Structure 1
Amino acid sequence: MRREDEESDEEVQKWDRTGRPGFSPHQKVTFALRMMAYGSLADSIDETHGMSESTCLHTLEQFCDIIVQVYKDKYLREPNQEDLNRLIHKAEDRGFLGMIGSLDCMHWDLKNCPTGWKRGFSGRSRKQTVVLEAVTSYDTWI
Structure 2
Amino acid sequence: MQMLAYGVAADAVDEYIKIEGTTSLECLRRFCKGIIQLYEKVYLRIPTQDDLQRILHVSKMRGFPGMIGSIDCMPWEWKNCLTAWESQYTRGDKGTTTVILEAVASHDLWICHAFFGFPGTLNNINVLDRSLVFDDVEQGNTPRVNFFVNQRSYNMAYYLADGSYHSYPTFVKSIRLPQSEPYKLFAQCQEGCQKDIEHAFEVLQARFKIIHEPARMWDIDDLAIIMRSCIILHNMIVEDE
Give your verdict on TM over 0.5: yes
Rg larger in structure: 1
Among candidates 51, 75, 78, match of residue 83 of structure 1: 51
Distance 2:30 2:89 in 1: 29
Q: SS at the partner of 1:100?
A: strand
Match of 2:2 among 24, 30, 48: 30
TM-score when normalising by structure 1: 0.57
Identity among equivalent positions (%) equals: 42
Between 104-113 and 62-71, the greater mean CA deviation after superposition? 62-71
Which one has more relative contact order, counting CA pairs under 8 Å at least 6 apart? 2
C-alpha RMSD of matched pairs (Å): 3.1
Work out the number of aligned pairs and report it. Answer: 107
Q: Secondary structure at the match of 2:85?
A: helix
Match of 2:94 among 125, 130, 139: 125
Alignment of 1:45-84 (within 5 A): 45=11, 51-52=19-20, 55-68=23-36, 71-72=39-40, 74-84=42-52
Flag structure 1 segments of 5+ consecutive residues without an equivalent: 1-28
Larger strand fraction of residues: 2
TM-score by length of 2: 0.37
Contact 1:68 1:76 in 2 (8 A): no
Matched with 1:114 is 82
Matched, 1:134 2:103: yes
- Quick one: which amino acid aligns to residue 51 of structure 1? I
Stretches of structure 2 that go unaligned for 5 or more consecutive residues are 113-241
Residue by residue over 1:53-98, the C-alpha shift from the partner in whole angstroms, topping out at 9 and shown as x without a partner, is: 5632442134214533674464222211221122112111111132
Aligned residue type for 1:98:
G
